[in-house]
Amino acid sequence: MRDRGPEIVVVGSANLDLVVSVRHHPAPGETVLGGDLQRIPGGKGANQATAASRLGRRTAFVGAVGADDAGHALQQSLTSAGVDTSHLVVAPDVPTGTALIAVADDGDNTIVVSPGANRTVDRDLIATAQPLISATPVLLLQLEIPGEAVTAAAEAATGMVVCNPAPAPPRPLPASLLEAVDVLVPNETELTALTRSDPTSSLDDLAAAAATLGMPAVVVTLGALGALLVTPDHQQRFPAPVIEPVDTTAAGDSFCAALADHLVEDPGDLPGAVEWAVRVGAATTLRRGAAPSLPTRDEVEHRLAGLRP
């Protein structure tokens, strides 16, 4: 009989997103008028868990929320998406994490995160969830929770470990974490921070920077340009479909979830995983908001029907 445990476990953050549309992002000292405030379930971890579940994978989430209305709303959102929340804890006397998001007319966004209860995710919580983590085919991580918890989760895994090093770390990642990660998924800014390299638009320079990390595989997300897969003996760019984005919020999270989704089925097919992730990320930008409207597998194909890079 087939094991019915989670196919993907996500250890990470849960935030309530406070989203305002703006004509353009304000410069320092500038005030701009925006649209109506929206309160949307979010957080990189919760978004990735929701995206994986909406793509059809049995998914569990390990994290923390506050004992407040926002925390209750986030738990309900995850549960409604079919995510196992048995290891989502409620931290007393700590507010739920909050993200302040401004979305410009071109779909680009800026985000400020107040971690709140996400700061309480620690090694003890990881130890409690270890049986779940060690049994999953794919573990998905980000950096919106304390580093010690991220490292402990990666070390507890026996399946593939995918790490999205976001937000960009202020210092190099611990060697113990990098050694436990199979696929690292930074964007260009995060890769620059990780490698202490100069910003560049050259794919060859990006590949060279990624190679210095010594990882089994690095997938650099390139926004509208797609993604770049770098392994010790190979590099390949995967162009994105040409679209007009509405909102880029959570596109990177959908990308990571789709990567994990494909690796559950075929852990040796990284090119196929990246190609699928590029399409899911692109489809995500064709709607507004985060978790509640992340695309299902059928919606990805419907939204991108007839479109090719």
Catalytic center residues: 253
CA–CA gap between residue 71 and residue 227 (Å, rounded)? 34
Cβ-in-10-Å burial (0-12, 13-18, 19+) of 4 comes to exposed
CA–CA gap between residue 92 and residue 115 (Å, rounded)? 15
DSSP collapsed to 3 states, 246-264:
CCCCCHHHHHHHHHHHHHH
CA–CA gap between residue 141 and residue 156 (Å, rounded)? 12
Q: Which residues touch 265 (CB under 8 Å, ≥6 apart)?
A: none
- Position 292: which residue type? P
Residue 259 contacts residue 227 (beta carbons within 8 Å): no
CA–CA gap between residue 69 and residue 65 (Å, rounded)? 10
Enter the DSSP assignment of 297.
Answer: H
Closest C-alpha among 112, 97, 139, 6 to residue 60: 6
CA–CA gap between residue 32 and residue 102 (Å, rounded)? 11
CA–CA gap between residue 242 and residue 225 (Å, rounded)? 9
